[in-house]
Structure 1
Amino acid sequence: MTLKNDISLIQIGKIGRTIGLHGGLKFHLITDFPQSIQKNLILTLEISHIGHSKTDNYTIKSFDTQNSIIFFEEITDIIQAKSLINAYAYASLEDTKKLCPLKKNEFFWFDLFDCEIIEEEEILGRVSDIQRIGATDYLLVATSEKLISQKLPRIFMIPYIQHFILQTSLEQKSIFVKGARAILEAS
């Protein structure tokens, strides 16, 4: 089982090479909220070896944000640390929301998944994924069946920028857009 499909967890990083002799590891962040990596936070690590993977929970002992070096309470030497190289690190959604206060009109990616994309009262599709290309986030939209039956592409991308996004309503699970239909038709 891969944790990427576990909706109670969010991937926040990947473990890299060992650092020093006392269990330090390079930590490659893939989150916009490095402040969420704090002492005593419990991370679920997905450790893959040839042919199988396992998961275990580890408690952060310390994290050096400047050098991206992480230490875990359970890991005390380089030998133990080597077993975690290339593991994917996940935090719970609950911890993420608690440790990452958002500003107005900021949203967690996981809250945008499955939102309807609506332009002029027409449902264009639903958000199936989000990808960051350069400095811009793109909504990967699974086109509605109605539009697919009109020979439009099954999937298209919308830049999540003010020019295209009018309003995001998590209560309605809807993102109201402009110009997205033209992107769909040109895809």
Structure 2
Amino acid sequence: MNNQSSLIEVAQVGRLVGLKGELKLHLQCDFPEQFKKGKKFKTQKGEILEVFSFNQPRGLISFVGYQTREDAAKLVNTFLLTTVENSVQECALKEGEFFWFDLIDANVVDEDRTLLGVVDEIERIATTDYLVIKTNDALVKKGFAKTFYLPYIERYIIMFDKAKKEVLSKDGLGILENS
């Protein structure tokens, strides 16, 4: 985990729970299986944290050296990072699945092949993932918003072509027009 540029955020450590250093874990990925005992993650401060225990059903995690409430309190709001390479190696994708980082910088086009923009980031709100689209400059010049959210659901996303790095959208222009 020494290549800083390939680090991706996979979770944020939340509030303390109980007396044994357990913390609420807020996943920012679809692969909870990577939070196993002994797995190491880098933090936004460059520290390395090793998982002591992870209770997936309850979403609770503890780290080696932080098993007391007082020590664990120091980790609240810490971001856990891993490398793109580790994610590809450790997380098994099913047919048609891909990583969030595969979508970043992908062109977003509507059914009529209008270039709407580029995926700038992805946000998970409740149970829905939203593509944050940086709008195509030509559309911004026509008065459209500089960015807009496109829900990654069947209603709006026809497909993602990983090889072309392109998201084909249905009614994406309509969302942009109403943004």
Q: Shorter chain as normaliser: what TM range?
A: 0.7 to 0.9
Aligned to 1:27: 24
Using the TM superposition, name which of 66-75 and 131-140 deviates more: 66-75
Aligned to 2:155: 163
Unaligned runs of 5+ in 2: none
Aligned to 2:35: 37
Q: Give the CA RMSD over aligned residues.
A: 2.3
TM-score by length of 1: 0.80
The within-5 A match list for 1:35-184 is 35-46=33-44, 54-119=45-110, 120-184=112-176
Contact 2:6/2:83, CA 8 A, preserved across alignment:
no
Contact 1:117/1:174, CA 8 A, preserved across alignment:
yes
Contact 2:40/2:48, CA 8 A, preserved across alignment:
yes
Aligned to 1:12: 11
Q: Deviations over 1:47-71 (max 9, x none)?
A: xxxxxxx330011122122333323
Give the deviation of 1:123 after TM superposition: 1.2
Contact 1:158/1:183, CA 8 A, preserved across alignment:
yes
Structure 2 Cα separation of the partners of residues 83 and 177 of structure 1: 43
Using the TM superposition, name which of 92-101 and 166-175 deviates more: 92-101
Structure 2 Cα separation of the partners of residues 12 and 19 of structure 1: 20
Unaligned runs of 5+ in 1: 47-53
Equivalent residues, number? 174
Give the deviation of 1:175 after TM superposition: 0.6
Contact 2:23/2:72, CA 8 A, preserved across alignment:
no
Structure 1 Cα separation of the partners of residues 162 and 177 of structure 2: 26
Q: Deviations over 1:109-139 (max 9, x none)?
A: 2221111001222211001122223332221
Give the deviation of 1:15 after TM superposition: 4.1
